[in-house]
Structure 1
Amino acid sequence: MFERFTEGARDIVIGAVGHADRAGAATVTEEHLLLAMFEQEGTRASFAFAALGLAGRRASVEHALRDARRRGGLSKAETEALAGLGIDVDEIVARVEETHGEGALRVAVRRKRPRWSKHRPFTPGAKATLSRSLRIALGRGDRVIGDGHLLLALTARPGVVSEVLADHGATYAAVARAVFGAAEGDGGAPGKIDSGETP
């Protein structure tokens, strides 16, 4: 599948591996893919970020992702569902951190890889995002997978990353309009692209 990626999409995947490496994470996650997108310029994803007002809000996105890691990777929807059962996740986190230190419930704790291994595996969620980007590209009739397809895939998968993007105005429908000019619900059929690189 990687051979179908445009140069920009490959740069995002490589950048995500770099983010995981710098964070000391044992695996590459959807969060790393998103953070790598913020570093790209002149791509469909960067155009969508600018169009949706997300370009200047990277710090806010990173803060929201950090909060989710602090809650053990629970999304706001999951936290609200637990609250409906009488479970106050924020209170639990506060008590655990009081005893065990800040970030005690943080997911993706640093884990050492064998020195001989340079391979950093992708989490099932990150792999599913890459697979979904292929399905989105095929659904639009595109021959390649671009960074815009990757961004759409991040918004389409339920979880923390799509929730954080939606909270910042980057829903699937909004991103589809910004990236491909697609109307909500049309699946992105019009406006086929060849390169996936420029808006």
Structure 2
Amino acid sequence: MFERFTESARGVVEGAVAQAERANADSVTEEHLLLALLDQEGTRSSFAFASLGITGRRAAVEAALADARRRGGLSKADTDALSGLGIDVAEIVSKVEAVHGQGALAGDKKSKRWWSGHRSFTRPAKDTLVKSLRIAVGRGDRHIGDEHMLLALSAQRGVVAEVLVEYGADYGALERAMFGGGGATGAGAVAG
């Protein structure tokens, strides 16, 4: 699969590993992939971020991701659902942090990095890479680019997709920004 990656897609993967190293994380997550995509310049994903007004809001995106990490990875939809059951997630987070320290729920699962010396990719990050392949094939592209990775992130369930939507970057908006008005082929690729 990696032989089909464009230079920009390889840059995203390398950038995600660098993001994980800077954060002292044991593994590379989809969050690191998103941050690496935000670092790209002169690519389809950077064009989409610029056209949707996200480029200048990196700090806000990072804060939204950090807030989700602080909630133990629960999305806003999850916290709203729990709130409907009478469970105040913010209160629980505060109590856990009072006992165990700031960011206690944001703990990184330990990987086998100590054994191999490399940071592994989490299952959702690997799934994003596989989904990017499916999207590329669904669009009839012979390569996997950063644009396919960004679409894959927006198509996955979870905090990263939720943060993208929060900034107006759902799958459809990203596809229109990167490929223009058409897009019927890409919609079918998400289902796979």
Q: Same fold (TM over 0.5)?
A: yes
User: What count of residue pairs does the alignment treat as equivalent?
Assistant: 187
CA contact (8 A) 2:113 2:120 kept: no
CA contact (8 A) 1:27 1:122 kept: yes
Alpha-carbon distance in structure 2 between the residues aligned to 1:103 and 1:110: 16
| 1:188 corresponding residue in structure 2 | 186
The offset of 1:85, in angstroms, is 1.3
CA contact (8 A) 1:73 1:107 kept: no
The offset of 1:79, in angstroms, is 0.8
CA contact (8 A) 2:154 2:160 kept: yes
| 2:116 corresponding residue in structure 1 | 117
Structure 2 residue ranges without an equivalent (≥5): 188-192
CA contact (8 A) 1:136 1:149 kept: yes
Amino acid at match of 1:28: V
Alpha-carbon distance in structure 2 between the residues aligned to 1:34 and 1:103: 21
1:6-59: CA deviation from partner (whole Å, max 9, x where unpaired): 000000001101111121111110000000111110000000000000000000
| 2:65 corresponding residue in structure 1 | 65
| 1:23 corresponding residue in structure 2 | 23
Over the aligned positions, Cα root-mean-square deviation in angstroms equals 1.6
Q: TM-score, normalising length from structure 2?
A: 0.92
Q: TM-score, normalising length from structure 1?
A: 0.89
CA contact (8 A) 1:24 1:110 kept: no
CA contact (8 A) 1:45 1:147 kept: yes
1:157 and 2:142 matched: no
Where is the helix percentage greater, Structure 1 or Structure 2?
2
Structure 1 residue ranges without an equivalent (≥5): 190-199
Alpha-carbon distance in structure 2 between the residues aligned to 1:4 and 1:14: 15
| 1:46 corresponding residue in structure 2 | 46
Identical aligned residues as a percent: 66
The offset of 1:80, in angstroms, is 0.9
Q: 1:143 to 1:182 in 2, by over 3 A?
A: farther
Structure 1 runs of 4+ aligned residues shifted over 3 Å read 109-113
CA contact (8 A) 2:37 2:46 kept: yes
1:148-180: CA deviation from partner (whole Å, max 9, x where unpaired): 000000000010000000001100000000011
| 2:190 corresponding residue in structure 1 | none
Alpha-carbon distance in structure 1 between the residues aligned to 2:110 and 2:50: 33
CA contact (8 A) 2:147 2:178 kept: yes
Amino acid at match of 2:132: S
Alpha-carbon distance in structure 2 between the residues aligned to 1:149 and 1:30: 14
| 1:179 corresponding residue in structure 2 | 178
Alpha-carbon distance in structure 2 between the residues aligned to 1:175 and 1:95: 38
